[in-house]
Amino acid sequence: MTAPDAPSPGRLFVITGAQAAGKSTVGLALAEALSKAVFIDGDLIGNTVVSGKDLITEPATVGAIEQLFLRYAGALTLADVYRTAGFDAVVADNIFGDYLDDFLEIAAPEPVHLVVLHPSIDTIYDRDAQRRKNAYRDGITVEDLWHTVEEHTSRVGLWLDTTSMSVAQTITRVLRNLNEALVDTADLADS
């Protein structure tokens, strides 16, 4: 008796953008649209820390940055477990500004289908008001994060202004533009 062939590894999708940009909603819908996929919510990974949690503030503390990188590594490790079994993995998290470059280095050398959701400031305000949790507190504003995404985030992957797009339209756009979303992190692993 021969062992069955190992499945081809699944793809890694990463959905990011400012808080309330629609990452979790789009990420879950994308996973549901794929034939065999898991959805990994960065907030759930981050909330596994039950004591001693350091939240990102301005300026960020060393402890908060360490925990953020642990959150990223935890999400990628879980994604790798499922990808090895042939599942596509969709990770949704707050990964922007300089932290996007750090995340891609942690993900290296795996190719990443990166999607940056970048709706208007007014749309983010509207979406945040409709959520059970309010993402903007402790002096962090929608404008601050929107400008961080706009001005301080590497222009890699597929950037979508989802201001007038439904979730279904967003998923269709992602699936039609997989090549544009693809970020080759192999070069990062070599440096």
Domain ranges of the chain: 12-190
Burial class, 151, CB count within 10 angstroms (exposed 0-12 / middle 13-18 / buried 19+): exposed
What does each of the 191 residues of the chain score in pLDDT, given as a tens digit?
Answer: 665 677 899 999 999 999 999 999 999 999 999 999 999 999 999 999 999 888 887 788 999 999 999 999 999 999 999 999 999 999 999 999 999 999 999 999 999 999 999 999 999 999 888 876 666 566 678 898 899 999 999 999 999 999 999 999 999 999 999 999 999 998 765 65
The pTM of the full predicted model, rounded to 2 decimals, is: 0.92
Q: Record the tokens describing residue 135, joined without a space.
A: 């993402």
The CATH superfamily holding the domain 12-190 is: P-loop containing nucleotide triphosphate hydrolases (3.40.50.300)
Strand-strand pairing, 112-117 and 158-160:
parallel
User: Which regions of 36-191 does DSSP assign to beta strands (E)?
Assistant: 37-41, 88-92, 112-117, 158-160, 182-183
CB 54 within 8 A of CB 63: yes
Confidence (pLDDT) at 55: 84
Confidence (pLDDT) at 16: 98
